Chain A
Amino acid sequence: KQEVTQIPAALSVPEGENLVLNCSFTDSAIYNLQWFRQDPGKGLTSLLLIQSSQREQTSGRLNASLDKSSGRSTLYIAASQPGDSATYLCAHSGAGSYQLTFGKGTKLSVIP
């Protein structure tokens, strides 16, 4: 059974700090890895998608890396802001498949 683990489950940081969220997975044959943001009671917003041939993607203050050999991905958030407070989910799809396997997420709180 494929599993996705996110550590820590919750994280609280002061505004302005740089932080790293971790995601590990057991399936070495992943196709895509995506990072999502979910605000309370809301749907998912896609932040970054890394295809299996890529090692990282960047968007603004966000940078996501992928190391398939170790089964890990990290989401780096620079200069965190209170508006970054949300739950961050990582998920991956298998080769040739649309299906996503999700982690339980990391709940981030950025304190002003």
Chain B
Amino acid sequence: GAVVSQHPSRVICKSGTSVKIECRSLDFQATTMFWYRQFPKQSLMLMATSNEGSKATYEQGVEKDKFLINHASLTLSTLTVTSAHPEDSSFYICSASLHEHSSYEQYFGPGTRLTVT
């Protein structure tokens, strides 16, 4: 149980275009989903916290107009990188917390490798 999927696993896009990444909780409902990015040999940095039906909360330094997050249902959150640039190339990972789960445990997706050329 507690499986999280991401799609696509890899994407290459041209500079200036937008790309959407999906994060789904497959066998549970997630009231809260998180988006992280990870640069090579670095740890995960939280970008934003997404609650179903409300606006995402972004971490300091993360541009909300560039990284659009939509949490439309209890099983789906999307991250859209708008007007992508090469410096946006990174590994993006989402996670989801079980609905009303008291331990606040997060379950992570397999990640999406974004390369902007």
Q: How distant is A6 from chain B, measured CB to nearest CB, in Å?
A: 9
Chain B: residues with CB nearer than 8 A to chain A?
6, 32, 34, 41-46, 49, 91, 93, 95, 97, 103-111, 113
Set of chain A residues within 8 Å of B93, measured between Cβ atoms: 43-44
Q: How many residues of chain A have a CB within 8 Å of chain B?
A: 24
| B105 A32 Cβ-Cβ under 8 A | yes
B105 and A104 form a contact (CB under 8 A): no
Known: A104-B43, A105-B43. A43 touches B49 (CB 8 A): no
Q: Is the Cβ of A43 less than 8 Å from the Cβ of B104?
A: no
From B34, B45, B109, A43 is in contact (CB under 8 Å) with B109
Chain A positions 83 through 105: 1 when the CB is less than 8 Å from some CB of chain B, otherwise 0: 00000010101000111101111
Contact in complex: A49, B107 (CB < 8 Å): no
- Tell me whether A43 and B111 are in contact (CB under 8 A): yes
| A49 neighbours in B (Cβ, 8 Å) | 103, 105
Question: What is the bound-complex CA distance between A42 and B106, given in angstroms?
Answer: 16
A102 to B108, CA, bound (A): 13
In the complex the two chains form, is B110's CB within 8 Å of A43's CB? yes
A97 to B105, CA, bound (A): 10
Please classify the interface of chain A as helix (H, G, I), strand (E, B), loop, or mixed, using the class held by over half of its residues: strand
Bound-state CA distance A93–B102 (Å) is 13
Any B CB within 8 A of the CB of A76: no
CA–CA, A65 and B34, complex, Å:
26
Q: Judging by beta carbons under 8 Å apart, are B108 and A44 in contact?
A: yes
> Which A residues between 1 and 28 are near B, CB-CB below 8 angstroms?
4
Are B107 and A100 in contact (CB-based, < 8 A)? no
Give the CA-CA distance A104 to B43 in the complex, in Å: 4
Docked pose: A51 CA to B43 CA in angstroms? 22
Q: Is A41 an interface residue (CB 8 A)?
A: yes
* A–B pairs, 28, beta carbons within 8 Å: A32-B104, A36-B108, A41-B111, A41-B113, A42-B110, A42-B111, A43-B108, A43-B109, A44-B44, A44-B93, A44-B95, A45-B108, A46-B105, A46-B106, A46-B107, A46-B108, A51-B103, A93-B104, A97-B104, A98-B32, A98-B97, A99-B46, A99-B49, A100-B34, A102-B45, A103-B43, A104-B41, A104-B43
